[in-house]
Amino acid sequence: MERILFALLLAGVALGVAAVVQRRQRADVPVRTGYGVPEQVDRADFARPDAPWLVAVFTSGTCAACAEVWERAVVLESNAVAVEELEYMAERRLHDRYEIDAVPTTLIVDGDGVVQQSFLGPVTATDLWAAVAEARAPGSTPGGCVPPELDE
């Protein structure tokens, strides 16, 4: 009888230790591997929704790289291409709506609001301008001028 009680006590202690160990183990949490870029936007949220193309540059007033990207983008403004800067403090609602959590983020968007190309971080004038040209007229840029993700 004594052995049975001792065995039950020992089993209870083992179960208690196992429960404590199991509680202390953390479940694997998904690791964020990058920043998101929207695949579609509502053109009505942006300047000139009737323009066939939009270059939207999400920026922050404290970001030097953002200012450089904006300088490269603004020259693309034309009848066919609306270009808009969306500075975080002034356009926080749109940063939140499209879950823009890193700047500069540059979107090249067609008339239906589909993001045809995007850049996260600084982008050269050559890459930005070539991406807009390629989006507007596929095959119009020489292979050496097209960003690698468009050169297929």
- The half-sphere exposure of 89 on its side-chain side, counting CA atoms within 13 A, is 4
Q: What is the rounded end-to-end Cα distance, in angstroms, of the chain?
A: 79
What pLDDT, in 10s, does the model give residues 34-79? 788 999 999 999 999 999 999 999 999 999 999 999 999 999 999 9
Band (pLDDT 50/70/90 cuts) for residue 149 is: low
What are the structural domains, with CATH classification, of the chain?
A: 43-145 (3.40.30.10)
Identity of the amino acid at 92? R
Q: Can you give the pTM of this predicted structure? A: 0.73
